[in-house]
Amino acid sequence: VNSEKLELLRRMLIIRRFEEEVERLRIAGEIVGSVHLCNGQEAIAVGVTSALNLPVDVVFPTYRGHGWSLACGVDPVRLFAELLGRETGINGGRGGSAYHFAPANGMYGENSIVGAGTVIANGAALAAQFDGSGRIAVAVIGDGAMNQGSVHEALNFAAVRSLPVVFIVENNRYSELTPIAGMAKIDRLYRRASPYGIQGLRIDGNDVELVRSTLLEIVPRVRSGDGPVLIEAATERLVGHYIGDAQIYRKPGELEAIARTEPLVRYRDVLVSNAVPAETLDEIERNIEQLIADARDEALASPLSDPTTVSEYLLA
């Protein structure tokens, strides 16, 4: 049992250290463009993917998707290389931070059109009803995306067709710089599932074991044709909306408060109380720090993408 727990910890740590390194690379100008980090939201990606049968099952993350890719098993070297615009990137440096795609891992592409992943996930789920693959699709959206028309259409269509889709709402309480309280009259977004005739529930998205056990219970039902489920996973983003966001909209003390309940701090406490020696945890942390530093160096040493091949991979 402890080895399973340590694996959940490892996966969350890989994501956190990766994101911290991405922030440094972005500030240093090695990575260009807008970058959205998922620090604080790792337990959702790790808990959900741990209950899936990837790559038969498919995941549709948002632009805040580095953690989902890593949780789906994308090699950190190839993901760093992708963000750094290198030939060796998972998409040859063409997808970058917000648009990369790793179908071999069941990661069917980030998307910067807020809410659009839901509609595409429905397509993958609809295909599953025809091809008999047993696939389920996971559509990841934010709290802000719950106010998009496309999301409501997707929820209704998935409900009516009993599609094998799990809608994961990463509720980090902000849509860009606007608190969700200023955008929705209700603060329990899972309640929007019932008007469409589907099950909705809210869980603590900072509790990796709870995310995993919830999905282990729900996924088989969705897979067997019981229809879609919407899971609101309450979390916090420990960083700005994008790298460079000064977060002046936060209340005094807010960042300090959410740092106390973030998934990594909490899970370390859980493991210690499960009699895992602190030295074991320290060693895992050191190993992952090294793994991420090595991955960064390997990616930085690889060649930049060749601009003359820019039109390759485009459909005519």
Ligand X SMILES: Cc1ncc(C[n+]2csc(CCOP(=O)(O)OP(=O)(O)O)c2C)c(N)n1
Supply the minimum distance, in Å, between the C-beta of residue 214 and ligand X.
20
Q: Is 142 in the site for ligand X (CB under 6 A)?
A: yes
Contact partner, 64, from Mg ion, ligand X, none, Cβ < 5-8 Å per class: ligand X
Burial 231-256 (b: 16+ CB within 10 A, else e): bbbbbbbbbbbbbebeeeeeeeeeee
Shortest distance (Å) from residue 38 CB to ligand X = 8
User: Which string of x and - marks every residue 32-61 that binds ligand X (by CB under 6 A)?
Assistant: ------------------------------
> Distance (Å, rounded) from C-alpha 229 to C-alpha 163?
10
Q: Measure the CA–CA gap between 163 and 210, rounded to whole angstroms.
A: 24
Looking at beta carbons only, is 192 or 296 nearer to Mg ion? Answer: 192
Q: Does 118 bind ligand X (CB under 6 A)?
A: no
Please check whether residue 198 is in contact with residue 227, taking contact to mean a CB–CB distance below 8 angstroms: yes
Q: Is the previous residue joined to 55 through a cis bond, with omega within 30 degrees of 0?
A: yes
240 is a contact residue toward ligand X (CB under 6 A): no
Tell me how far, at minimum, the Cβ of 202 lies from Mg ion, in Å: 15
> Two tokens at 24?
């440094």
Asked if residue 208 lies in contact with residue 217, where contact means CB atoms within 8 angstroms, the answer is: no
57 vs 143, beta carbon nearer Mg ion: 143
Q: Tell me the one-letter amino acid at 41.
A: Q
Q: Which region, judged by CB under 6 A, interacts with ligand X, from 126-134, 172-180, 204-212, 228-236?
A: 172-180
Least Å from the CB of residue 125 to ligand X: 21
Angstrom CA distances, 192 to 118, 137, 181, 237, stand at 15, 20, 15, 23
Rounded to a whole number of angstroms, the minimum distance from the CB of residue 64 to Mg ion is: 8
For ligand X, which residue has the nearest CB? 142
**In angstroms, what CA-CA distances link 108 with 27, 185, 189, 216?**
28, 32, 25, 21
- Among ligand X, Mg ion, none, the one that 261 touches (CB under a kind-dependent 5 to 8 A) is none
Instruction: Please choose, out of 6-14, 109-117, 198-206, 284-292, the segment that lies near ligand X by the rule CB under 6 A.
Output: 109-117
